[in-house]
């Protein structure tokens, strides 16, 4: 299974509003995407975090490159900063473990 972790921090009040206008449809898309096994969001240390598990990396990439999520990615640098991290695993990490993995291994955007 493929685990995807993100932690994003909106830039200012305008970024915050735009972030949520894009994040909600992206999360809705993820919940019904082909290959999704688990998807949750949580605020941690000022970051809006997502933790998702997919049948495969290919399933996650198909979701990432389509629909509301693709629209959100195109606006990302204007509205937020943060990190992403993905890896293969046999289990879904706890939120504390996921956040630690993101901080230690995440790619900064």
Cβ–Cβ < 8 Å for 68, 85: no
Residue 23 has pLDDT above 90, yes or no: yes
**Local confidence band at 54 (pLDDT 50, 70, 90 cut-offs):** very high
- The CATH number assigned to the domain with range 2-108 reads 3.30.70.100
**What does pTM read for this prediction?**
0.93
**Which of 96, 84, 86 has the alpha carbon at shortest distance from 4?**
86
User: So where are the chain's domains?
Assistant: 2-108
pLDDT one-digit tens code per residue, 70-91: 999 999 899 999 999 999 999 9
The pLDDT of residue 99: 98
Mean pLDDT of 27-43: 97
Mean pLDDT of 46-56: 97
The pLDDT of residue 109: 87
* C-alpha distance from residue 68 to each of 13, 65, 86, 101 (Å): 21, 9, 20, 26
């Amino acid at each position: 299974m493929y685990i995807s972790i993100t932690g994003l921090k909106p830039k200012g009040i305008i970024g915050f509003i735009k972030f949520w206008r894009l994040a909600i449809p992206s999360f809705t898309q993820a919940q019904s995407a082909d290959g999704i096994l688990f998807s949750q969001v949580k605020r941690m240390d000022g970051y809006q975090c997502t933790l998702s598990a997919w049948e495969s990396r290919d399933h996650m990439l198909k979701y990432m490159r389509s629909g509301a999520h693709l629209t959100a990615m195109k606006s990302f640098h204007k509205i937020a900063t943060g990190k992403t991290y993905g890896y293969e695993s046999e289990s879904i990490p706890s939120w504390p473990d996921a956040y630690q993995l993101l901080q230690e291994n995440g790619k900064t955007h």
